[in-house]
Structure 1
Amino acid sequence: MRSLNAQLTQYAEYHRDPRNIQTHLVGVPMIMLAVVILLSRPVLVLGGLPLTAAFAVGMAVCVFYFLLDLRYGVCMALVIAAMLAVGQWGAAQTTVFWLMSGIGLFVVGWVIQLVGHYFEGRKPAFVDDVIGLAIGPLFVLAEVGFALGMRNDVRLAVEQGAGPVHRRVGGSVS
């Protein structure tokens, strides 16, 4: 398995335009929540515990994040736990609400993402490496942390590998 810095650097190579990063701060959580909501039905109750595909996927992704980095793993586990709670609530609503909220968030989130990649002038990272679907939420968390002055060692490693964040204007970098 590639290291945290290698994973974030590869993902960052597709995300150097600040407008693309900004769209990801909105679009990625929307898509992530949409998937959690949609995978929160059906519920299988085992030993009094509600189990869903959302829970199984969430736990698998948490293991992946913990293997990459303990601190990011804890933060991502908290985010996923909150999304699982929202997903469980959404799945308990009417079928129309459950489907419309899940599909609506998914579609709008991807539209926002595609606008960002239009600015970037590059396809999404997961097109070349499907692991980008798991790294995207971690990238968003890392970018928020970087903006708050956290994990500068990781930020510097990512910038050294992927280059600095810059704005593209008409196909050229400014």
Structure 2
Amino acid sequence: MKTLDQWLDEYSISHQNKTNQMLHKLFVPLIFLSALGMLWDWQYMDVRAAYVMAFFGMIFYISLGAGVAILMLVQVGLSFAILRFWSQQQGSIFLPNLYLFIFAWAGQFLGHKIEGKKPSFFKDLQFLLIGPVWVFAFAFRKSR
């Protein structure tokens, strides 16, 4: 299994351009939020599909270390708080999250067009879980 540094180093290869980096720091958290948001309305016996997705994601994050797990637990918690408030105000939040998801991915692909490199997840789908960590990588990267 790869270490956190190995994941981040490999992810960083296709994220060298400053504009692409800025777009990712803006849009990756929106993709994270909207992915959970599209699952928010789906539930069975008070267990939301978003909770199940977050649970399995957290297993991966725990394998990368306590710091990553704590950071992502905070991000999941903030996302759930936003989604809970949003759904209380609006009811179903699937469609606005679908639109946000599409918009944010368009921003990601624009960044990769500027960079001139394919997104990392074309190589390995686990990079979809690394993106949110990469946004905050400065918090755990070892000094080089």
If the length of structure 2 is used for normalisation, what is the TM-score? Answer: 0.90
Aligned to 2:107: 112
- Give the AA of the match of 2:99: G
Q: How does 1:118-157 map to 2 (within 5 A)?
A: 118-142=113-137, 146=138, 150-153=139-142, 156=144
Aligned pairs for 1:1-174 (under 5 A) are 1-45=1-45, 50-92=46-88, 93-95=90-92, 98-142=93-137, 146=138, 150-153=139-142, 156=144
Paired residue type of 1:135: I
Look at both structures and tell me which one has the larger radius of gyration over its CA atoms.
1
Kindly tell me the number of residue pairs found equivalent between the two proteins. Answer: 143
Q: CA shift at 1:82, angstroms?
A: 1.2
Q: Which runs of 5+ in 2 are unaligned?
A: none
Q: 2:63 is matched by which residue type in structure 1? A: L
Q: Which contiguous aligned blocks of 4+ residues in structure 1 show a shift greater than 3 angstroms?
A: 88-92
| Structure 1: runs of 5 or more not aligned | 157-174
Question: Which of the pair is proportionally richer in helix?
Answer: 2
Distance 2:118 2:7 in 1: 17
* CA apart distance, 1:91: 4.0
Give the TM-score taking structure 1 as reference length. 0.76
Q: Give distance in 2, aligned partners of 1:40 and 1:82.
A: 14
CA gap of 1:102–1:127, structure 2 versus 1, over 3 A, is same
